């Protein structure tokens, strides 16, 4: 929806079905006879739906989404003391925002953030700061709170074709043992269809 000549608002919904299966009694447990892992989960079918909203201008964007609105239960185990152990999905909330700030005629600054929120867990944020040079070359750094650092570069080969590379290094005490860094290569091509006379370039987001 065009709010005015410079800003837009987009709304999105999704719906689907999850099929979950787990052979829990095959696991090697630190605590034997844990009631949570006694029974397997066989083809547990649960429906779900999601919602999102996105606001954007040429130099700013912000969004909020809940991919899974329903907190489906996968197992309920009644213990001898009368309490019930419930295994269920947790609802997650995501917020994104970013801006493009002009520093000089040939250099622009692009800060972005990505917040992930769910109950009984710390709020996690991805913070990225990039510099855009000559509207084609990108270089920046990223930090994920309590978990990782990263760096990224990218280049618009043409108005439609973009290549990029990023590396993130996990410094968290719990994750570093299993992940000493990951590499990502990005190739993006924007197709121009017959009913489009031109493509808007550069596109900031």
Q: Mind listing the pLDDT tens digit for each residue in 22-69?
A: 887 788 888 777 777 777 878 788 899 999 999 999 999 999 999 999
The pLDDT tens digits of the residues spanning 157-199 come to 998 899 999 999 888 666 667 777 899 999 999 887 655 555 5
- 18 and 61 share a domain? yes
* Residue 156 neighbours by CB distance under 10 Å: 20
Give the up-direction half-sphere exposure of residue 54: CA atoms within 13 A in the CB hemisphere.
12
Residues 66 and 145 in one domain: no
Looking at the structure, tell me whether residues 126 and 147 fall in a common domain: yes
Task: Say whether both 126 and 141 belong to one domain.
Answer: yes
Number of domains in the chain: 2
Q: Domain range holding 17? A: 1-95
Is pLDDT at 74 greater than 80 in this prediction? no
The reply to whether the predicted model has a pTM over 0.95 is: no
Q: If you compute the radius of gyration of the chain from its CA atoms, what whole number of angstroms results?
A: 22
pLDDT at 173 (0 to 100) = 65
Q: Within this chain, do residues 83 and 138 fall inside the same structural domain, yes or no?
A: no
Q: Looking at the structure, tell me whether residues 112 and 189 fall in a common domain.
A: yes
Same domain for 19 and 67? yes
> Hey, which residues does 134 pair with through a beta bridge?
none
Q: How far apart are CA 189 and CA 161, in angstroms?
A: 5
Query: Sign of dihedral through CA atoms 31, 146, 61, 165?
Result: negative
Domain stop point among 95, 120, 149: 95
Quick one: 5 and 39 in the same domain?
Answer: yes
């Amino acid at each position: 929806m065009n709010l005015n000549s410079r800003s837009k608002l987009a709304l999105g919904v999704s719906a689907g079905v999850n099929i979950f299966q787990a052979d829990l009694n095959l696991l090697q447990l630190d605590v034997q006879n844990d009631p949570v892992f006694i029974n397997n989960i066989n083809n547990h079918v649960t429906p779900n739906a999601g919602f999102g909203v996105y606001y954007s201008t040429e130099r700013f964007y912000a969004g909020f989404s809940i991919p899974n609105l329903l907190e489906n239960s996968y197992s309920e185990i009644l213990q001898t003391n009368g309490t019930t152990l419930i295994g269920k999905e947790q609802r997650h909330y995501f917020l994104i925002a970013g801006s493009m700030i002009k520093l000089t005629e040939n250099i622009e600054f692009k800060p972005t953030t990505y917040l992930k929120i769910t109950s009984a867990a710390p709020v996690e944020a991805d913070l990225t700061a990039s510099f855009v040079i000559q509207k084609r070359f990108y270089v920046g750094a990223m930090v994920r709170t309590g978990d990782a650092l990263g760096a990224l570069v990218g280049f618009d080969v043409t108005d439609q074709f973009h290549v990029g590379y990023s590396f993130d290094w996990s410094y968290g005490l719990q994750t570093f043992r299993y992940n000493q860094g990951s590499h990502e290569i990005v190739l993006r091509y924007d197709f121009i269809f017959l009913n489009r006379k031109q493509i808007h370039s550069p596109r900031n987001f």
